[in-house]
Structure 1
Amino acid sequence: MNGASNAHVRPERIEFVDALRGFALFGLLMVHAAEAYSVGLSRGTDDPWGQAIFFLFGSKAFAIFALLFGFSFATIMGNQRGRGVDFTGRFAWRLLLLMAIGFIHSLLYASEILRLLAFLGLLLIPLDRVRSNFALLVIAVLFFLQIPLLIQWMLANWGNAFAGSEPYFANSYLWDTLRTGSLGEIIKANATEGNLVKWSINWSFGRVSEIAGLFAVGVVIQRTGFFARIAKDRAIALGLLLIGGTIFAILDFIVKPMVPGSPSGAEFAIGSFTERAILFQWIGISAITAQIGLLALLWNSPMQSIVGLFRGPGRMTLTLYVAHSFVAVPILYQFGLGMAEVWDTQTRIVLAIVFFGLQILFAHWWYTQFRYGPLEWTWRAATLNDWNVPLRKNVQPAV
């Protein structure tokens, strides 16, 4: 999520990045609403509303977050380096704190992304030592090639039973527990089985390598000032939209129908599963390229005020992201109101849009009074071990 690097010196924010981060937060909420927060995974794609949400945000919103995570890391390290400070150890501590927040969050919602981003974020520390942007882009491409998945594929073809076996998450008892378990049973399952399932999903679908690659690209984007430029240059934004949109259309509408599915059970095939995992990665990357270009175009138009609505949530994504689960899970799960069995996908999505609208209002009100979101301030103060970090904005003296 987003964060700053120093308690007393505040670098100038790129407001377009805040809006982009808020857009990604909205996308995550939409996907989670379609899935009924893991209670109705299969139902989320069974109707036009769910299909539309996954087309727009599935495997895309989290990718924007990963890209911006790398961007924020490079911003923090660059700002501190400019002050002559080596922030490496402090940033590692910052990631451990995020892992702790993510673990607490995961006890209620196992599919949350904070732990994954924080753990893989440790890769950013050695990536920061690579001073060549070209070398970082080469490293990103190597991650995007999904070499671990290809090795697994080859091992399966050579007869390795473990490499060719069905992914662990496919037959986990976690899904039944989420649908019917008590709060205590869900917390216990999320603390144990949930971690195994989460890593199985992210490994099997290639997200581990993809996130690492997006981290590297995010660092290059920060170093080159690309987001600051695209927020002002309509030609670059249009180029991104056209290139990303063209590649996305080719992959999603032409190539994807040609790649066989990956059935489960006795017919599971590692080859077709791997092919689709790698294909979906490139579909997602091309899609977010187009989305970033489109948002930048709108930012440079009379529509800026509408895109700008995402800025408030984009400045407090950690707080709002965690709040999503603490509101939605008790409403949807059987231990609470059990509304996942009552509301269809359309209803859940419409209600989620309304909920996010309320969060926009809350975030914009909050930042008229305070400098940071609640969890953002806590994370920042704990990172710096300085609980005197000012939260409220300075009050102007009376005239």
Structure 2
Amino acid sequence: MNSTNRIKIIDILRGWALLVVVICNYSVFAYDENYQIIGKGFVSKILQTLEKFLFSAKGWSLLFVLFGFGFGVFMDKFQGNSYLGFIKRMFILFVFAFVNSIIYDGDILRDYAFLGLLILFFYKLSAKKILIIASMILFFIPFLDAYINALDMSYVETQIELATPLKYSHSIVDLFKFNFWSSYYFEVVNLGYSVTAHCVMFVCMLLGLWAQKTNFFATVFSSIDNVKKIALISFFSALVLSLILFFSFQQKATYLAYFSPNYWVVLLTMIFTTACICLLFLKQRCRTIFGYFSIVGRMTLTNYMVQNLISFFIFQGFGLRLFYTLPYYCYFLIAVGVYILQIFFSFWWLKSNNYGPLEILWRRWSCTISKP
């Protein structure tokens, strides 16, 4: 895979991940407090299954892999002598994260910034050492997940319940309070997210950095046969592990209290879907759709935050209040509709700009604070 194609596939994967993220984020508003939806028709059931097995957690995990890859590219560009510059970029990202967390109670920009600072300590390691460290963390994640799941985290749910009235308020200030409050308790105090999910995110970042250091997309992904092998191995591994987990839950297997490999299934499925996209790209299939993905992917930060801003006005109390009021498939369609609008906006913007509006601000502010 040559340099041009390698850059294009990264943008395509970012665009695909953003589609997955907006579908998952908007689908959350279809569920009431008891995790029930309005109507359970055939279409909704199919879309629920699709979201659960192919989309849920696969979008953000892929984005973290691509973040690690991008980090390696950034550091190589400055020959590894831009630690301070990267730290300043992460500081600006924290600012974006704060804004995002008050309009949507599920911010991941803060995770990028925090783990981005942590990955700096691993940049000068060899690709082999990075892969070993990532593999070790990945091996222990099921044990960590099972342990944390056994802890009493009812305190988090209690605090969210106390803030629930703010969620349904017409006041924009109340909604800002709820979103920030919810983000804090679900993503900071909740150990399932602040510890387990962050370990998974960091593994993904390390894998992305490893891919950049080994020139993965130019070597392994230069061969269609290699990509087929990755797709087949990841698919059957995810399928077998999913079946084992399904029957284990049915039989209430005791080992689940000590070993919970759910995130292994997530990452294997993410690898499978990623490999399928790369395979189609190498075979020059779906070129028009991939062109749209690439356009959206070039403005990842802008489109991610705009998706959340739109959801604030569509679903939350200050806006149209469309939470728990429509059949499940409507939220799925709204997500796809928003994504299509972003394709048009991204195409229009990129005709006269090299970067998205928030990407331009990010770069400009990073350069500003870099001056003595």
Scaled by the length of structure 2, what TM-score is found?
0.87
1:203 to partner: Cα distance: 3.2
Q: Is 1:330 aligned with 2:330? A: no
Q: Aligned residue for 2:114?
A: 119
Q: Using the TM superposition, name which of 189-198 and 355-364 deviates more.
A: 189-198
Q: Using the TM superposition, name which of 17-26 and 295-304 deviates more.
A: 295-304
Deviations 1:250-302 (A, max 9, x none): 1123333314699xxxxxxx9847644xx221001111111111001110124
Q: Aligned residue for 2:266?
A: 284
Q: Aligned residue for 1:106?
A: 101
Q: Aligned residue for 2:213?
A: 223
Q: Aligned residue for 1:31?
A: 24
Find the partner of 1:15 among 8, 11, 33.
8
Q: Aligned residue for 2:293?
A: 310
Contact 1:177 1:186 in 2 (8 A): no
Runs of 4 or more, structure 1, over 6 Å off, are 37-41
1:168 to partner: Cα distance: 4.3
Distance 1:152-1:273 versus aligned 2 partners, 3 A rule: closer
Deviations 1:130-189 (A, max 9, x none): 1x21111111022213469639839x9xxxxxx732354333326724642332122123
1:234 to partner: Cα distance: 0.8
Find the partner of 2:159 among 169, 172, 185.
172
Q: Aligned residue for 1:65?
A: 63
Distance 1:37-1:255 versus aligned 2 partners, 3 A rule: closer
Letter of the structure 2 residue corresponding to residue 169 of structure 1: V
Q: Using the TM superposition, name which of 46-55 and 338-347 deviates more.
A: 46-55
Give the 3-state SS of the residue equivalent to 1:208 in structure 2.
helix
Distance 1:87-1:255 versus aligned 2 partners, 3 A rule: same
Q: Is 1:190 aligned with 2:179? A: yes
Find the partner of 1:96 among 91, 94, 117.
91
Q: Aligned residue for 2:130?
A: 136
Distance 1:332-1:323 versus aligned 2 partners, 3 A rule: same
Letter of the structure 2 residue corresponding to residue 138 of structure 1: I
Letter of the structure 1 residue corresponding to residue 159 of structure 2: S
The Cα RMSD (Å) is: 3.1
* Partners of 1:371 and 1:37 in 2: CA distance: 36
Distance 1:260-1:384 versus aligned 2 partners, 3 A rule: farther
Contact 2:166 2:175 in 1 (8 A): yes
Give the 3-state SS of the residue equivalent to 1:377 in structure 2.
helix
* Partners of 1:16 and 1:119 in 2: CA distance: 26
The structure carrying a bigger helix percent of its residues is 2
Distance 1:19-1:313 versus aligned 2 partners, 3 A rule: same
Distance 1:201-1:56 versus aligned 2 partners, 3 A rule: farther
Distance 1:69-1:274 versus aligned 2 partners, 3 A rule: farther
1:351 to partner: Cα distance: 1.9
Q: Aligned residue for 1:160?
A: none
Distance 1:325-1:302 versus aligned 2 partners, 3 A rule: same
Q: Which runs of 5+ in 2 are unaligned?
A: none
- Percent of residue pairs identical: 25
Contact 2:97 2:109 in 1 (8 A): yes
Q: Which runs of 5+ in 1 are unaligned?
A: 1-10, 157-162, 263-269, 388-399
Contact 1:244 1:289 in 2 (8 A): yes
Distance 1:61-1:149 versus aligned 2 partners, 3 A rule: same
Aligned residues: 359
Give the 3-state SS of the residue equivalent to 1:145 in structure 2.
helix
* Partners of 2:185 and 2:85 in 1: CA distance: 29
Contact 1:74 1:219 in 2 (8 A): yes
Q: Of the two structures, which has the highest relative contact order with CA contacts closer than 8 Å and spacing of 6 or more?
A: 2
Correspondence list, 1:147-158, <5 A:
150=144, 153=147
Letter of the structure 1 residue corresponding to residue 130 of structure 2: L
